[in-house]
Amino acid sequence: MDQTQLSNRVAELKAQLAAASQQIDALAAQAAALGHAAPVADAASHGNFFITGLTVFVLACFVGYYVVWRVT
């Protein structure tokens, strides 16, 4: 590899590095935007604690009833 080929390869790598850096910056901006939206999505997915707790309690009662009914 002579000096010209080496300098051309370095220039290509520098251009690829600049493109990768721009992509990383764009991904970091998207991740930051998603990071701010995560608490809103988290609250929306879990809903009200009372409703969730009541649902779990009712399901536990049904499952417990059928387990005890099958044993006795």
pLDDT tens across 2-47, in order? 899 999 999 999 999 999 999 999 998 888 877 776 565 555 566 6
Average pLDDT (48-69) is 89
More confident residue, 39 or 69: 69
Average pLDDT (48-70) is 89
pLDDT of residue 61: 94
pLDDT of residue 30: 87
CA-CA distance, 59 to 43, in Å (whole number)?
22
Average pLDDT (47-67) is 89
**Around 59, how many Cα atoms within 13 Å sit in the side-chain half-sphere?**
6
The answer to whether the pTM exceeds 0.95 is no
